[in-house]
Amino acid sequence: MKKLLYLFLPVVLLFSGCTQEIESRLTDVEKRLAKVEEQVRELNSQVSLIQNLINGKYFIQNAVDLPDGSGYRLILVDKDGNTLEKTVLCGTDGVDGKDGVSPSVGVKKDTDGNYYWTLNGEWLLVDGNKVRANGADGADGKDGKDAPLTQFKVDNGKWYAKVGDGEWTCVGEAVTEVTGPIVSVDASKPDVVLITLSDNTVLELPKASVTVKLQILVDDTVFQNMTAGQTKSAPYEVIVPAGVTYTLDSYEPESWKVTISKPQDNKGNVTVTVPADAKSAKVLLIANGSDGSSYAKVLHINVEGGEEETPVELEEILDATSGSIDLPVGATDVVISASWITLSGNQLLIEANDTYDSRTATVSFKVGDKTYVLTVVQAQKDAIVLTENTLEAGSEGGEFPFVVKANVSVEAAADVAWITVNPVTKGLEDKPFTVYVAPNENTEPREGKITFSSGELQQVVTVTQEAAQPVIPPVSGIFELLTDASDLQEGDEILLVNQARTYAMGAQNGNYRNPVSVTVTGDTISEPGEGVAVVTLEGQAGSWNLKVQDGYLAAQSAAKNQLLTVDSVTDYATWTISVDENSLASLTAISGARNRLLYNSQSGYERFSCYANTGNYTKEVLIFHKAGTPAVPVTQYNALGLYLGNQERIYQPGEDQYVRSYDGDSMEFVLLEPKGKEQVKISGLTKSLQIGDAVTVSVNWKKDKTVILQKDYPMTVLQDQDGKLWVGDTKGRGVIIRK
């Protein structure tokens, strides 16, 4: 963070040593001295720029000629990708039509490989030593040390130089016209920038190659010394990373008018109109990138007539990070009221604020005979804290409470029309927001973002909403409370109900399942009705698969509280089921960090989902087991084939026997879907089976080379008639084969 302190004064003599207030007009001599002081400031600014470029703190990305030909507008990038603008005035053609008589300040590389400052072509000597421009390399992997800042001034007709915190040293006779050392800047080459200095030295420096960040560049000096009711415009430029799009917006005080023209090639104009009764203020320009990045540019608008007389009151508002403020050249008698601000040369060094409260300090100083009091306000750390950074909404939408903990004013804005946030608060206290999500009638899920902001500080919440889900058809029958998990068998139908016996699990809604109201009488649910999800058990005890209308229930593979519906069986969709003495059912997926199917009763978050453990709101469920539906025995059928439960044959072999093998007490069936040919066919059995014999039927059911079912079933020979055998169990599963 680098701040430059501007002093907006009535006409004042800053560096001449004059001890009297200026009344109506300055003499010609005073005007010339004031101009020299302004030129010295430009000289020092260029010296600092050259030093930063040599030390790699900044890199030049581009150089644009100023319209009047007086210099360049440089686009600089630091090593972190932050972009800033710098105006450099080149004075080799003289000032006011005069010949350029400025001494030549330059920088040259000595035989030791380091850069040193020069004055009029000779080494600049302070206390007999050359003044180094580049820093020292670090040793043993440590960071190097920057060279101290070199500054110049004109006093009593003589040149003075100061290195770092050292004393001012006279280095020669002064002149009445001063120009900076930079004569020209050539950034047309792809990899290097050429800077020509007034002593004809040419610096060849690497061009900026770091990835830029989203930024807005505006020269807000255009908006200084405005008057009430006045309108001014300044060009802006948006620095955009490759592949990123952006939108622009502004925040301004009440009654102010700010207009941002539509960017063309990332450039445009920002126009500010000052209200009739306005005082100096700040305007905020916001750029929001498609990659989630954002940037805020603060425009300082100075309105004439708002300043105090003696002492001059100044204010600078900083963010919580460390940085510095430049005092004017010639500032003396500096008094600082806080330990977190220290003076180094001509800079105020600001420590980072690691607290959650803002803080204020004052810095008083003098320039010439004028006294100034600078109030420094530094923002607090982590001004906006979100309770959550994601919000999941069902397809039906709704109202969602959302708490933002903030110690600054906070505004909220959604980037899509189907999300609204209320209220937009500007209070300094913590305050809850309400997020309204419209129903999603589309068949695709959607996503939006809410940005909570306070100036440059922003926090983003991602809102996801699932697609509209098909309605589950009405469920009929009688379901009774399950008290013993050993009563469960493959093919059973169950309902999952919360402990309060008010809701059953319903349709999938994003990453969880909705609760649906049910009526429980005693330990029975009769005719559950619409919306209730019936779970059909597949597999066996210890490895149940929970089949629903549109797939299988599954936990999430990552560490998230989610209950999903998947197309095929995995470890995340394979469950163990146990029931305790209070009839509370524990359903746990074999895999997953949060794999317990529970009911969440927290207001606004009521749902059936998966969690790591039970808690204040997440509790075990009850299982209601469908009763009164006897299985249809396989003896009720006559056609050859395999039967699994109360359904027609899942495999119809035709005339040939399709038992693949039989070893006396077990038989294997290989089922191929779609229709395929058996690799082995036999027309008889190796052992004569009798009614009542126990056998094991092994099924290997494949579809497109994928195993659909691979399971062993204990069965009994039930019937022997007309050259066929009926083998089955009490669940209606079985096989009819030719003897």
Domains of the chain, by residue range, sit at 28-206, 384-465, 478-627, 634-738
Distance CA 456, CA 122 (A): 47
Q: Which of 123-132, 301-310, 529-538 has the highest mean pLDDT?
A: 529-538
- Topology at the third CATH level for domain 384-465: Immunoglobulin-like (2.60.40)
Domain 478-627 has CATH 2.80.10.50: yes
Cβ contact 631:715 at 8 Å: no
Confidence grade of residue 60 (pLDDT, cut at 50, 70, 90): confident
What average pLDDT score do residues 650-674 get? 60
How much is the pLDDT for 22? 39
Please tell me which residue, 353 or 258, carries the higher pLDDT value: 258
Q: What confidence score (pLDDT) does residue 26 get?
A: 43
Q: State the pLDDT confidence band at 9, using cuts at 50, 70 and 90.
A: very low
Assign 545 a pLDDT band (cuts: 50, 70, 90): very high
Run of H or E residues at 44: helix 28-54
Query: How far apart are the C-alpha atoms of 652 and 115, rounded to whole Å?
Result: 92
Bridge partners of 577, per DSSP, are: 587
pLDDT given at position 505: 95
pLDDT of residue 584: 95
pLDDT > 90? residue 309: no
Are 82 and 26 in contact by the 8 Å Cβ rule? The answer is: no
* Strand order through the sheet with 659-662: 641-643, 734-738, 724-728, 706-721, 694-703, 666-673, 659-662
Could you give phi then psi for residue 634, rounded to 5 degrees? -65, -20
Q: Are 44 and 182 in contact (CB under 8 A)?
A: no
pLDDT reading at 681 higher than 70: no
pLDDT for the residue numbered 21: 41
Which residues fall within 8 angstroms of residue 113, CB to CB, at 6 or more apart?
Answer: none
Give the pLDDT score at 2: 41
Per-residue confidence (pLDDT) for residue 695, from 0 to 100 = 86
Return the H-helix or E-strand segment holding 402: strand 398-406
Of the candidates 424, 421, 411, the one whose C-alpha atom is nearest the C-alpha of residue 459 is: 411
Q: Which of 219, 256, 252 is nearest to 234 (CA)?
A: 219
Predicted confidence at residue 600, as pLDDT, reads: 95
Distance of CA 280 to the CA centre of its chain: 34
At residue 677 the predicted structure's pLDDT band, cuts being 50, 70 and 90, is very low
- Per-residue pLDDT of 329-362, as tens digits, reads 778 888 888 888 888 777 888 888 877 667 888 8
Kindly state the greatest CA–CA separation across the chain.
Answer: 132
83-99 average pLDDT score: 58
Q: Do 652 and 737 contact (CB within 8 A), yes or no?
A: no
> Which residue has better confidence, 715 or 377?
715
106 contacts 115 by C-beta, under 8 angstroms? no
- For a pLDDT cut of 70, what percent of the chain falls above it? 77
* Number of Cβ atoms within 10 Å of the Cβ of 448: 18
Scan for tokens 């003075």, then name that residue.
160
CA–CA gap between residue 639 and residue 654 (Å, rounded): 9
C-alpha to C-alpha distances, 79 to 53, 143, 349, 563, nearest whole angstrom: 11, 15, 20, 45
Q: How far apart are CA 78 and CA 76, in angstroms?
A: 7
Same fold, 384-465 and 478-627: no
Q: Residue 648 burial by CB count (10 A; 0-12/13-18/19+): exposed, middle or buried? A: exposed
Taking the C-alpha atoms of residue 9 and residue 369, their distance in angstroms, rounded to an integer, is 13
Q: How far apart are CA 37 and CA 154, in angstroms?
A: 8
Do 538 and 548 contact (CB within 8 A), yes or no?
no
Cβ-proximal residues to 318 (8 Å cutoff; 6+ apart), any chain? 1, 3, 350, 376, 377, 378, 379
- pLDDT by residue (tens digit) across 274-285? 888 777 777 878
Positive or negative, the CA dihedral 254, 259, 262, 267 is: negative
Smallest CA-to-CA distance from 74 within 93, 59, 55, 95 is with 59
Residue-level pLDDT at 407: 64
390-393 and 457-465 strand pairing: parallel
Residue 546 — pLDDT band, cuts 50, 70, 90?
Answer: very high
**What pLDDT is stored for residue 96 in this prediction?**
40
Q: Contact, 280 vs 303, CB < 8 A? A: yes
Strand order in the sheet with 312-318: 312-318, 370-378, 359-367, 331-336
Residue 571: strand, helix, or coil: helix
Query: What average pLDDT does the segment 127-156 reach?
Result: 65
Mean pLDDT score of the chain, rounded to an integer? Answer: 77
551-555 vs 457-465, strand pairing mode: unpaired
**pLDDT score of 426:** 42
- Nearest-angstrom CA–CA distance, 407 and 386: 12
Q: What is the pLDDT of residue 100?
A: 38
What is the percentage of the chain residues whose pLDDT exceeds 90?
Answer: 15
* Token pair recorded at residue 725: 């055998």
- What is the reported pLDDT for 294? 75
Task: Report the SS3 class of residue 197.
Answer: strand
Q: How confident is the model at residue 650 (pLDDT cuts 50, 70, 90)?
A: low
Which amino acid is present at 336?
I
Burial tier of 444 (Cβ tally within 10 Å: 0-12, 13-18, 19+): exposed
| 86-103: average pLDDT | 54
Nearest-angstrom CA–CA distance, 269 and 234: 6
Please say whether the dihedral angle defined by the alpha carbons of residues 643, 645, 647 and 650, taken in this order, is positive or negative.
negative
**Coil, strand, or helix at residue 487?**
helix
pLDDT tens-digit profile of 479-508?
989 988 877 888 889 999 999 999 999 988
Instruction: Report how far residue 739's alpha carbon sits from residue 729's, in angstroms, rounded to the nearest whole number.
Output: 19
Q: How much is the average pLDDT of 634-654?
A: 69
